[in-house]
Amino acid sequence: MSVDWVITPRDRALDGLQAGLRDRSGAVLIGPDGVGKTSLARCAAEQHGADFRRVAWVTGTESAAGIPFAAVDHLIDVPVVGKTAEVLRAGREALGSDLLLVVDDAHLLDPLSAALVYQLAVSDAAKVIATADDEGPAEVTALWRDGLVNRIEVCPAGHDDARLAEQVASFVADLPGDALRTLRYLAVHDPLPLAVLLPLTGADAIERARESGAVRIENAMVGCAHPLFRDAVRASVGGPALRRLRTALVDRMLATPGCGVVDQLRVAVLAVDSDRPQPPLEVAAAAATALRLGDLNLAEHLGRTALAAGFEARLTLAYSLAWQGRGREADDVLSAVDPAELNDAQLMAWALPRAANQFWMLSEPERATAFLRATRGRVSTPQAQTTLDALSATFSMNAGAPQRALSLAEDVLESDAADDTAVGWAASAAALSCARLGRLDDVDPMAQRALDAGHPGLLRFTSGFGQTTALLLTGQLDEAQAMAQELTDFAQLQQPGRAIGEVLVADVLLVRGSLQAVSLLRRATAALAPTGYSWGPLAWMLLAQALGQHGMPMEAAKALSRAESRHGLKSMLFAPELGLARAWTYHARKDSLGAIAAARDAAKTAERGGQTAVALRALHDGVRLGDTRAVDSLARIELDCVFGRITMDHARALAAGDRCGLQEVSLRYHDLGMSAAANDAARQAIADPPPGADPNRP
């Protein structure tokens, strides 16, 4: 029995695809299975392909959705070394530009293939024609929800899911036996290399399936001609039969030469639920690969399976849990290790994630610090001791002691025993500490040292925050925003990196006075909530500030409450920001005296911690709020920068009731891009002079 497809009319859909290719980064056809979305995409690719240097196809499938880079493995080289960002960057470079990328069933892409598609689209390296339903990884749905591509709804009159399912089931039931056998293997994993499938079914069976319209053969790969065929076969095959088919596939894949990184992960996933389990050490290696590529769910799945492999598998599982924000489970996995049985290298590999997990994910910084100190007493090599000192520097910084953090970090950076891990931790902490301490000239060199060490991805935001802070204080707001945005784009939609990047962007937008900071921070607080990173409390603090500045007292109070409840020793570095959150919440409530007092307290908190640059920012907010006594406090700030000079001029004009001076300061703020401060100074210029000011001054 043939399937009576109800197909979407072509003209309107093709017009929408053409408009998307012309005006945006492409278009997506959204609708149910079986309405001709793939045919429309193929037709559009044939019509417009000549306008591009290259046309490439990517297909999402349910069986490959949990394997990193599975959908784009035929387009890029996934190396045996390198983390997610490096693989994505190399993939973008390899694919080049002027590309037409056709993405079929985009909602079934694995998240990292989806991330590559998004990066190609957002960077204008490729135009995208996609088919999808309305769900899928955030990296996919962002294509149309962020307005990058035209969204074209396709659901023709007469289409009926139930009727179509019945016809597909009948079509599958009527297939010749050998053709159906081919489809059964594809029900386990779709698509399959022809070289893998041939020994299992024979060439005649594959050809019969192709002639029947059940499969398609392209580029030596065999795939279901329609995902509904695969779904119907899977529904008709029982669990034991699927297990036997899976076992046969694993045996065949292992016997097929040329197995790359993605193929190894495919085999590992299939083998877990087969009668051909891989040795625990091989599963542990696959789990480590999944972790390296950023697939935390797969790393957890394989890591649990491989626990019999011992120490390395346990580490992989712990990292995958901690990075998902499941700190208690990670601690349970790590606490099962007996440190007395570990050599120095293993002790380090175990101690670093356990201490970090205790500090951030479990919010037990005192316990983490004591554990780190005890571990340092047990290691004997200078390299191990130096690495532990580097992590101690990061702990000290987050705990509100940037001067001590900088001292520890500088000792690490001067040590010949410091490896790249130690340099990455130490230099990142040093970059942010220098910025907040007011040593602005030292920020970029420290950040560069961290970059050169190839440190872990999230540390890039630590050093980046130092750089954006320095740029703000030197009056380079455009450069600060561009750097923060670059870090956010680098993370793309991968969490928590994306959310941390948005916190940095929002910090710049706060100084600009842009309402966009509110939406960014709302999104960031939601994404950071499951994690224990210090960025989470900071995001709530900045959100309270943004809401307060824009006159939303109820929402500001709620954000402030959440900031206070999440704040502790691990985020003590940001205690001044919490004070400013209180100040702007008071401001939104029309409590000017409370607002000024809170801003003064924030500045004093920063000064007590040696955070000269942050004290300056707090005093600046105080002046904006109307603090006429800020001049003396500003005079104590030994930091000569554009931000400090204009704040001092603002404070002096405000204290003296100098209307012309305030108007001049407003214009200077405006030229710097500090719109909110410009508006505040302009408003103060026309307000009644403060008590004690000369009422006769112009």
Nearest to 58 by CA among 111, 122, 105, 112: 105
Tell me the pLDDT band of 3, cut-offs 50, 70 and 90: confident
DSSP 54-65: EEEEEE--TTTT
Distance CA 419, CA 453 (A): 8
Average pLDDT over residues 666-671: 97
| In contact, 619 and 630? CB cutoff 8 Å | yes
Helix, strand or coil for residue 198?
helix
User: Is 60 exceeded by the pLDDT of residue 388?
Assistant: yes
User: Is 80 exceeded by the pLDDT of residue 259?
Assistant: no
Distance CA 258, CA 263 (A): 9
Average pLDDT over residues 213-226: 92
User: Is 60 exceeded by the pLDDT of residue 695?
Assistant: no
User: Is 50 exceeded by the pLDDT of residue 697?
Assistant: no
Distance CA 206, CA 181 (A): 9
Distance CA 669, CA 681 (A): 9
| In contact, 335 and 358? CB cutoff 8 Å | no
User: Is 60 exceeded by the pLDDT of residue 610?
Assistant: yes
pLDDT digits (tens, 9 = 90+) for 389-429: 999 999 999 999 999 999 999 999 999 999 998 999 999 99
Distance CA 450, CA 621 (A): 32
Strand partners, 218: 221
Phi, psi of 317 (to 5 degrees): -60, -45
Within 13 Å, how many C-alpha atoms sit on residue 552's CB side? 13
User: Is 70 exceeded by the pLDDT of residue 691?
Assistant: no
Residue 141: alpha-carbon gap to chain centroid: 15
Domains of the chain: 10-153 (3.40.50.300), 161-272 (1.10.10.10), 278-378 (1.25.40), 475-686 (1.25.40)
How far is CA 282 from each of CA 81, 161, 267, 309, 312, rounded to the nearest angstrom?
16, 43, 10, 9, 11
User: Is 70 exceeded by the pLDDT of residue 1?
Assistant: no
Q: Which range, 64-78, 369-383, 650-664, is most confident?
A: 650-664
CA dihedral 613, 618, 621, 625 (to 10 degrees): -150
2-11, 91-100, 554-563: least confidently modelled range:
2-11
CA angle 117, 123, 127 (to 5 degrees): 60
The overall average pLDDT reported for the chain is 92
Tell me the pLDDT band of 492, cut-offs 50, 70 and 90: low
Distance CA 210, CA 179 (A): 8
Omega before 191 within 30 of 0, i.e. cis: yes
Strand partners, 150: 27
pLDDT digits (tens, 9 = 90+) for 269-306: 999 989 999 999 999 999 999 998 888 899 999 999 99
Distance CA 339, CA 317 (A): 17
pTM: 0.83
pLDDT of residue 457: 66
Structure tokens at 506: 């929002």
Q: How far apart are the first and last CA of the chain?
A: 92
Strand 54-59 and strand 99-104: pairing?
parallel
Phi, psi of 75 (to 5 degrees): -105, -30
Return the higher-pLDDT residue of 146 and 607: 607
